[in-house]
Amino acid sequence: MKYVVVTGGGMSGLGKGVTSSSVGVLLQACGLRVTCIKIDPYLNIDAGTMSPFEHGEVFVLQDGGEADLDLGNYERFLDVTLTSDNNITTGKINRTVMEKERRGAYLGKTVQVVPHVTDEIQDWIQRVAHAPVDVCVIELGGTVGDIESCPFVEALAELSYRVGDFCLIHVSHVPVLSAVGEQKTKPTQHSVRTLRSLGLAPNILACRSNSPLEGYAREKLARSCHVSSGNVLSLHDVGKNVWRVPILLRDQKAHEAVLRVLNLDVKEPDLKEWTARAELFDALVEPVRIALVGKYMGLTRINKDAYFSVEKALMHASVALRKNFFSQNPNAYKAAWNKLKGADGILVPGGFGDRGVEGKILAAKHARENRIPYLGICLGMQVAVIEFARSVLLDMQDANSTEFDAETKNPCVVFMPEGSRTHMGGTMRLGSRRTYFHHDNHVGCMAARLYGNVSYVDERHRHRYEVNPEMVARFEEAGLWFSGRDESGERMEIVELGEHPFYVGVQFHPEFKSRPGKPSPVFTGGKKNSDLN
């Protein structure tokens, strides 16, 4: 097994996830089989209980694992399906070590960070990175030198000696001070010095900067960090089009540098399809405006990351349909309504808690009454049901979800009976579940047509509340049709409004399986590239 480890120094937010994914794309394009592991040094078992305001999106994996959004980057870039084992956290490692200690697995020895914790980390990595994979790309979250990442750095240092074929890529910042006007290499030099003091030496430097790395900066970094100048890569900004990053790396022969360190035959990557998609994205002109009516909105990058997969799914769909996608997510009430009224479509994504829900209900009402295309995801589907009950069913003006009003007399959305009210982490309905399409007494089923008229579809879920099955018959009598249900037929998965051009709500999260070149059908409205010819 060959290993590529990506670390970051100096500051967070440098793009280690995109770098790791892009290196994986290059190696895949060279004909190698690639998997990815994300190491998150926090004490949480997983990302499931973290606030999107603080940590960004929680990405749901096929087996129900709740993980950092970088796992979504890996899946989208590499078109692979990962599991919760591909995400290592301090919480998971400590729990495993403590369980072993309680079983007496350490035979009475004093349990220590070295060797017991570091051995567990290495064993976990090697268990995940098994055949038929050729290369495992490992991203170490956080910043080198952080106290919480020290056991992982030590474990990776030990692993590098144990396995031999080990390539370390260090991502660091090369800033330009406005008063001086030149690229400064000292932050990267100090970052590499910290890394070396912890037992790891970089084979490749990936330098993040606003503009291409200057020759003098490249030579200075190569000399001071003991790396050949050909292994000092410029990871300058590429704008909105992150699909340009693998191409940027290929043009600098990054694949050759990695393959040589791993003692593999140097090959030229085949990025024809990838390059064509990146160029198409840059050439899109005709706009489409989608109002994203979320609740985790703000002015910082991390707030934007709260709906990271939703925005990527919209991007995949817009490229497939040759549209230039604009996401609108204003905060001020008046500005929000002006944006909403000018949108070509409205998307209400998932979320938890009652903050902002009434605004989402108004957005669903606006879409329904004005025949604007509407897609509701998870909470967005429940919001559509609540709005329909309040506006169409005459005696349900106070309809609500028990999540927002536990005493509501008309609970359209209720807590699922198998859920836990005392424990938060890992207790939701999670992971891939099957949805069956229902055509009973209806001429057609829009949801089934979106997916190519199949009888069922498997999508990923993350929710505690569901549409009240006792009210389904009344909704359907009034024209709101539940066209997708689980295997029991009692849990509602898809809702649609028959007399509307496109009014669809899904309980699952289709954005988690959207891929470049293979957008989710509910985001494209079932249209394909061939429909545009």
Query: How does DSSP assign 227-296, residue by residue?
Result: --GGGEEEEE--TT-TTHHHHHHHHTTHHHHHHHHTT--------HHHHHHHHHHHH--SEEEEEE--SS
The pLDDT, as a whole number, for residue 526 is 64
The pLDDT, as a whole number, for residue 528 is 58
The pLDDT, as a whole number, for residue 333 is 62
Are residues 436 and 485 in contact, defined by beta-carbon separation less than 8 angstroms?
yes
> Known catalytic residues?
378, 509, 511
DSSP state letters, 160-225:
HHHHS-EEEEEEEE--B-TTT-SB--HHHHHHHHHHHHTT---SEEEEEESSPPPHHHHHHHHHHH
**Gap between the Cα atoms of 415 and 424, Å rounded:** 14
Question: Is 132 exposed, middle or buried (CB count within 10 Å of its CB: 0-12, 13-18, 19+)?
Answer: exposed
Residue 95: closest CA among 74, 112, 117, 78: 117
**Per-residue tokens: 261:** 């360190």
pTM for the structure as a whole: 0.89
Question: Secondary structure of the chain: what % helix, strand, coil (to 5)?
Answer: 40, 20, 40
The contacts of residue 27 (CB under 8 Å, 6+ apart) are 4, 34, 134, 135, 137, 255, 258, 269
Measure CA of the first residue to CA of the last residue in the chain; give whole Å.
45
The pLDDT, as a whole number, for residue 520 is 96
**Per-residue tokens: 311:** 């925005």
The pLDDT, as a whole number, for residue 440 is 58
**Per-residue tokens: 408:** 């509501």
The pLDDT, as a whole number, for residue 395 is 87
Residues paired with 70 in a beta bridge: none
Query: Quick check: helix, strand or coil at residue 446?
Result: helix
What is the full per-residue pLDDT of the chain (533 aa) written as tens digits? 999 999 999 888 899 999 999 999 999 999 999 999 999 999 999 999 888 888 889 999 999 999 999 999 999 999 999 999 999 999 999 999 999 999 999 988 999 999 999 999 999 999 999 878 999 999 999 999 999 999 999 999 999 999 989 999 999 999 998 777 899 999 999 999 999 999 999 999 999 999 999 999 999 999 999 999 999 999 999 988 999 999 999 999 999 999 999 999 988 999 999 999 999 999 999 999 998 888 877 644 445 788 999 999 999 999 999 999 877 655 556 677 788 888 999 999 999 888 889 999 999 999 999 999 999 999 999 999 999 999 999 789 999 999 999 999 999 999 998 888 878 787 899 999 999 998 654 446 889 999 999 999 999 999 999 999 999 999 999 999 999 999 999 999 999 998 899 999 999 999 999 999 999 999 998 665 544 43
The pLDDT, as a whole number, for residue 302 is 42
Are residues 45 and 91 in contact, defined by beta-carbon separation less than 8 angstroms?
yes
Measured over the CA atoms of residue 296, residue 298, residue 303 and residue 306, the dihedral's sign is positive
The pLDDT, as a whole number, for residue 31 is 96
